[in-house]
A and B are shown apart, each in its own frame.
Chain A
């Protein structure tokens, strides 16, 4: 299986300006040396706290952020030059976090979904309507929604409109930025199921950005854990959940509330001991600037940023 997306040592830095002449004083290193590969047809989960740089990474791939350094390869071809952002491509599309603010309230569903098609193809009105209807059917919205406005839909339905827009151009790669974190559990289940269906049907590759580890475990084959702009651990879903190596990963996993009521006390104890370990030893996992150490191979698929032994 070849890699559809390869990110090599990606860096996105923002200048901090200040002083009398508004000169550059320092840089915020939002993403600082991230490398990852996503094989075609699979889902890669990027996990981390807010501010860890996961969304910035996703946005850099689709060209919404500039790239300070590093290379992004799509289908084997470089799509990034240094210091520039990736050009728009119909093969890479994004699903946004908040279905309430990512759809233009003044546009009808038809206009929202047809917009990307109009940007790339010449279509007559009738062709457009037929195409949009086909997309709506694919995402499970009734044909009657064509001329409705976003406020007439529930959260789950809006997220479907967002997905219809994202798949309108038959993309190969979808960047899904927290697609279900604004939704209720029951609706979340609906959207996740249907994203899996679409993925299978269209053979999509996905970069799935989320902070909910339960959801990531459900959706993704590979997982990368980010901390302060760098990956601290990367591996298959089983490796990350059953054999976490980095202290930060352990802490994230221990913090998930479990619905197994018999294990509550046990979980709280584990969480407490991991937290103590974290407070005591976490500095060993960082370099002088408070950033993660370079990744070390553990198995052929599993890497973690561990301190050198001894």
Chain B
């Protein structure tokens, strides 16, 4: 076990709504080691992208508290000019939407050369050659031609590769990938994931992978953090999380996926929605309103993240007697299994 590459301590990011600050990221602590892929999972509105943007200090209007130690230095105390050198250099981000992340008025190669200018060399020819080389490395056929193209001439998959090429241009030590494959077809998704894996091996970097696709998580991650309403509700090594999920939210998410056994029958549905920032009950279990069939006494006041087995943390006590409710007859088998599992836990 090496040193932590990134160590986030009590990160809280608040946004102003009607004159008052409400935390969208609430006391998040997380470590990433070199060559480790940590996945951050959750529904839209759970605060996963807000976490990533806070790490990069890309939120201007927000109030950010806590510590973000990147190789030992606290990014929150770094001046903006210095931050500009770190961002895109040692710390890089792959953005979600390749359609909007690229400048429509710049040639592809110039967009890549731009980050090289700040971080690498001023020599134009050298940069151009390096940019073309990068395009080849992310699997773009005929890189010279694509380098001279504009973003609108490329397909979604190609654009995403360009975004990745820009992110890895300066051999980052930490790569933050915000939904890198959400907009892509499965075959291209598989290629992009291979690419990220290859680069990670090659550069020995850490990766923070943000996604809501649990299949991608299972394939890529070493550890998984599940976020709900701004808090991490469960962290575990990937195998443990998928085989033995504890928090009701994790269980519900895993059960809402279509799979072979459920073919043609009803999927599990999580009732309700993520509460809006300014209307959230902050001192009780935030998932409680969405599992109303679980008795109130199962939840704790001000739930904490506790280690229940080495490396496996769960928030709140409500997981102990949790079972999934089925509203139709077809999920009875699943429910029975869940109840049996719940029994095991209590024993």
B43, B186, B270: the one within 8 Å of A255 (CB)? B186
Residues A267 and B219 in contact in the complex (CB < 8 Å), given A50-B156, A190-B269, A214-B257 = yes
Q: Which chain B residues lie closer than 8 Å to A289 at the CB level?
A: none
Q: Which chain B residues lie closer than 8 Å to A189 at the CB level?
A: 256-258, 267-270
Interface centre among B187, B215, B243, B264 (most CB of A within 10 A): B187
List chain A positions with a Cβ less than 8 A from chain B: 49-51, 154-155, 184-190, 192-193, 196, 211-215, 217-218, 237, 251-252, 254-262, 264, 267-268, 271
Closest chain A residue to B220, Cβ basis: A257
List residues 204-246 of chain B with CB under 8 A from any CB of chain A.
212-219, 238-239, 242-243
Interface contact A217-B258, CB-CB below 8 Å: yes
Please list 20 pairs of residues, one from A and one from B, whose beta carbons are closer than 8 Å in the complex, sorted by A's number. A49-B185, A49-B187, A49-B188, A184-B43, A184-B44, A184-B212, A185-B43, A185-B253, A186-B270, A189-B257, A211-B185, A213-B186, A214-B258, A218-B264, A257-B193, A257-B216, A258-B215, A260-B218, A261-B239, A261-B242
List chain B positions with a Cβ less than 8 A from chain A: 43-44, 155-156, 185-190, 193, 212-219, 238-239, 242-243, 252-254, 256-260, 262-264, 266-270, 273
Q: Which chain B residues lie closer than 8 Å to A217 at the CB level?
A: 258, 260, 263
Q: Which chain A residues lie closer than 8 Å to B43 at the CB level?
A: 184-187
Closest chain B residue to A242, Cβ basis: B260
Closest chain B residue to A259, Cβ basis: B218
Interface contact A214-B259, CB-CB below 8 Å: yes
* A154 CA / B43 CA spacing, docked (Å): 13
* A192 CA / B257 CA spacing, docked (Å): 11
A184-B44, A259-B242, A268-B219 given. 9 additional CB < 8 A pairs? A185-B212, A185-B256, A186-B253, A189-B269, A255-B189, A257-B193, A257-B215, A258-B215, A261-B218
Interface contact A193-B269, CB-CB below 8 Å: yes
* A184 CA / B253 CA spacing, docked (Å): 10
Interface contact B215-A218, CB-CB below 8 Å: no
Closest chain B residue to A215, Cβ basis: B258
Interface contact B186-A154, CB-CB below 8 Å: no
Task: Return B205 CB to nearest CB of chain A, in Å.
Answer: 20
Interface contact B254-A218, CB-CB below 8 Å: no
Task: Return B110 CB to nearest CB of chain A, in Å.
Answer: 27
Closest chain B residue to A251, Cβ basis: B187
B185, B190, B239: the one within 8 Å of A271 (CB)? B190
Task: Return B217 CB to nearest CB of chain A, in Å.
Answer: 8
Task: Return A52 CB to nearest CB of chain B, in Å.
Answer: 9
* A267 CA / B156 CA spacing, docked (Å): 25
* A63 CA / B219 CA spacing, docked (Å): 41
Q: Which chain A residues lie closer than 8 Å to B186 at the CB level?
A: 211-213, 252, 255-256
Closest chain B residue to A154, Cβ basis: B273
Interface contact B218-A185, CB-CB below 8 Å: no
